[in-house]
Amino acid sequence: MKGLDEQVQEVKSDVLSIAADLNQLEEKLLYPSDTHFAVFVAIAHGETFRLDAVEVQIDGQIATRYIYSFKELEALQKGGVQRIYTGNLTTGKHEITVSLTGKLESGKDYARTERLPFDKSIGPKLLGVTLAGPDGGKTAIDVGDWH
């Protein structure tokens, strides 16, 4: 009986390995490196506002909307990063619009939208979006290249 259990575990391991390989292949086929584009979201260090939702538009078209759970917000506040969007984008000039909604420590609703231009060259483009509240004179939404 033990031999059968070991064989089942080996088959299970092989299936998981094949599934991982297929996922990598699928991502390479769906998002070729020349047009690959991804957006990552983080919260600025020390921010205390509660992030409820983020919407990302690329060139005026909605790319994604995301509503955050308490655990996800907690992870972002501890320095975590979320890949919120993956897609394909042509080379050239583009515009990203990021809208955030949440609540300030005082309990007031907080909403902010920023439109920022960026360039997509040949090769993958990873764009980081750092979110902040209105306090401390910080930019509420900052966009930059990530590596």
Per-residue pLDDT of 15-47, as tens digits, reads: 999 999 888 888 777 767 788 899 999 998 888
* Residue 86 to residue 31: CA distance in whole angstroms: 8
pLDDT of residue 135: 67
97-131 pLDDT, tens digit per residue, is: 999 999 988 889 999 999 999 999 888 889 999 98
Could you tell me whether strands 109-120 and 92-103 are parallel, antiparallel, or unpaired per DSSP bridges?
antiparallel
DSSP state of 22: H
| List of residues 6+ apart from 61 with CB closer than 8 A | none
What average pLDDT does this structure show over 70-93?
92
